[in-house]
Chain A
Amino acid sequence: QVQLVQSGAEVKKPGASVKVSCKASGYTFTTTTISWVRQAPGRGLEWVGWIITYNGNTNYAQKLQGRVTMTRDTSTSTVYLELRSLTSDDTAVYYCVRRSDFFDHWGQGTLVTVSS
């Protein structure tokens, strides 16, 4: 069965960077785009961006352009989300999700807390 397993919770100081991983299994990794969605405490869901696992092409939310990078390692079926120059506004649960249109499978979520 399709599984997306994410790395554990992170606590970072403002201005730092964080890198979250998402390991996919149960399907052919390079056939389906992986997206990232986040949810800040008490807020709704926000699309962060996607990466085409076949060729590494990416598309990011405009508000995060310049601070976000998504990469993938096809040898381990893993996608990475890196977010730099963190602020308290980046405190959220980050989910990796399968597909770039509607999201049919979700990782368990990774809580990233930005606090001094």
Chain B
Amino acid sequence: IVLTQSPGTLSLSPGESATLSCRASQSVSGRYLAWYQKKPGQAPRLLIYGASSRATGIPDRFSGSGSGTDFTLTISRLEPEDFAVYYCQHYGSSPPTFGQGTKVDIK
């Protein structure tokens, strides 16, 4: 399954909301889709699994939605620490694959 994320870059100001898209080349079974945050020099951090379940310790300004081939990560009220690259990943079949990433940077 090929995952295509859009946009490639999102330029926003703190306090604004971000909407990130992840489109799959075929239906993702069981809503088996995860989202990760990646900052330079750090390991990725799991944000969302099962398309909409927040991982432990993730603030509720992060939310995931979608099913089938279209998934969305929404970040409401961007905080300074939210500016990073975000990746989606499917795990409904082998091999698991990642999208190419969306960079959220400061406008």
Residues of chain A touching chain B, judged by Cβ–Cβ distance below 8 Å, are: 44-47, 59, 61-62, 95, 100-109
Contacts and interface: CB of A to CB of B under 8 A. Distances in A.
B17 to A, nearest CB: 24
Contact of B46 (A95, A103, A108): A103
A102 B89 contact: yes
A62 B91 CA distance: 16
Interface residues of B, number: 23
Nearest to B46: A104
Interface in B84-100: 87, 89, 91, 94-100
Interface of B: 32, 34, 36, 38, 43-46, 49-50, 55-56, 87, 89, 91, 94-101
B100 A44 contact: yes
Dominant secondary structure at the B interface: loop
A47 B34 contact: no
B55 A104 contact: yes
B87 A61 contact: no
Nearest to B94: A59
A95 B91 CA distance: 17
B34 A103 contact: yes
